[in-house]
Amino acid sequence: MPTTKKQVTVKPEFNDFLQAVDEYTAQLPLVIRMSFRQALHSEYEGDYGKVEELCRGMLASHPENTEVLALLGRAQLSQQKYKEAEETLREVLEKEPERNFERIEHGIAFHALNKHHEALRELLKADPDKDYHPFYYSTLGDCYENTGNRMGARNAFRKEIAMWEETGEMASSENLDGCFCNMIYLDGSLSLTELSADLEVYRKFLREAEMTETMQDHLTKNIAYWSTLLTLPAFRDPFIKFVKDVEQEGYLLDSPGYGIINSAYRAVESYRYHEDRKVDAFMESFLSAEAGDRSGSGNDGDTARAVQLAHEWYMSRCIDEYAQMLLYVAEQYPHTYARTVTFLEQLQTLGPEKMRDNILDRFEEEKFVKAGRDQISAELDMAYQKVRAAKKQPVYVAEGGVTYKRSGKKIMPNDPCPCGSGKKYKKCHGR
């Protein structure tokens, strides 16, 4: 498993910290100097509640001291007391507007309160080169994205990554990974030529970062998030190349998220076989039903299982007609075909008629529909006729600055998917 090759923390060494404390507190009034030193030690150890307690004690005798107020605001921010932190840091800036680091933290507090315009205003007033703050660019990027400036967001995330490339340091691997996730998503959605190069930098980061459980979880979620861009044909090859690298490097080998790799392969294949003229609408709906997520509980899981069984019933009626196409699918779309193997082996063992009886037994046992066996069979037969008659629907996508005109009614999330799978659009090709 990959290990860290470079120093990845911006926390100072303890001896350097002690020296900085001595220099910093020398300017403070003698009466609060010891308490302030204790507060800085508590901050270094991560005990922010103790920092706040000490600061309030100092403010009782020195209510106007901006150094104590600034430390209090920082402690409140670290404890996620965002409203209190915003008020404290605003007081600091009213007294000393030139304080750059506190200006950045004031912007971060606004961002945490979802006041993105106010946060952006404060962050843009600050000079990030004067005082390095590990969350400046990631916060700036999120503010830009939430205020509609997607290119500004992308460039802000890239700036934080560039600083890591230059120094080998980062606030945390999780924070930098978030910058990569957002930047690469924006590269893809904006159709930027930097996409492949940025994915290569991310590969370098993954090789150097410690692949903790948290990082594995981040990587899994990144792949799932980026797969929403597969409507863009230009994104598919770089995406699948990255997924193959993740598989080969074994980053997720011992992770609960390992299944995302096969899901990603199947996701890419689903778009490709949708556009493949050798795969008709009926086969596409069958493959989509077989690839559906049936692991969930409740209505969604039951619906997916019922859709799968229905399509298996349909296929059992025309298996001879589709034998050659299934061989083609096995060769061209192996990850998708793998989901059908259990059914096809069972079909070969039982034969079509017994397979349909077996499926009707499942419908009755699991009570997917409240109807008798004869009615279920009749409804499946009617549905089969409709699915066999269905035609492939075109996929309309927006790529870069060009939006393709949609023909007909807009597909809403809860509408049936046009691929004919029987699932809601949001649960199928709208994912």
Per-residue pLDDT of the chain (431 residues; tens, 9 = 90+): 333 333 233 445 656 666 777 777 777 888 888 999 899 989 989 999 999 999 999 999 999 899 999 999 999 999 999 999 999 999 999 999 999 999 999 999 999 999 999 999 999 999 999 988 889 999 999 999 999 999 999 999 999 999 999 988 887 899 999 999 999 999 999 999 999 999 999 999 999 999 999 999 999 999 999 999 999 999 999 999 999 999 999 999 999 999 999 999 999 999 999 999 999 999 999 999 998 765 555 566 788 888 999 999 999 999 999 999 999 999 999 999 999 999 999 999 999 999 999 999 998 887 777 778 889 899 999 999 999 999 887 654 433 333 333 333 444 556 555 444 455 655 554 54
Is 287 inside any structural domain? Answer: yes
List the CATH number of the domain containing 117: 1.25.40.10
CA pair distance 430, 324, nearest whole angstrom: 29
Is 405 inside any structural domain? Answer: no
pLDDT of 395 reads 55
CA pair distance 295, 303, nearest whole angstrom: 11
**C-alpha closest to that of 275 among 390, 188, 395:** 395
Of 76, 107, 133, the residue at which a domain comes to its end is 133
User: How many structural domains is the chain composed of?
Assistant: 2
CA pair distance 347, 345, nearest whole angstrom: 5
Is 65 inside any structural domain? Answer: yes
pLDDT of 3 reads 33
Cβ atoms of 106 and 125 closer than 8 Å: no
Is 150 inside any structural domain? Answer: no
- Between strands 402-403 and 398-399, the pairing is antiparallel
Is 196 inside any structural domain? Answer: no
pLDDT of 282 reads 96
**C-alpha closest to that of 285 among 431, 410, 429:** 429
Of 133, 162, 189, the residue at which a domain comes to its end is 133
Is 211 inside any structural domain? Answer: no
Three-state secondary structure call for residue 297: coil
Q: Which domain holds residue 329?
A: 275-395
Is 244 inside any structural domain? Answer: no
pLDDT of 394 reads 66
pLDDT of 212 reads 94
**C-alpha closest to that of 76 among 65, 67, 89:** 89
> Within 13 Å of residue 222, how many CA atoms lie on the same side as its CB?
28
Is 378 inside any structural domain? Answer: yes
Of 88, 111, 133, the residue at which a domain comes to its end is 133
Task: Please give the angle made by the CA atoms of 59, 60 and 66, to the nearest 5 degrees.
Answer: 20
CA pair distance 70, 335, nearest whole angstrom: 56
Q: What are phi and psi of 403, to 5 degrees?
A: -105, 125
Q: What are phi and psi of 2, to 5 degrees?
A: -60, 145
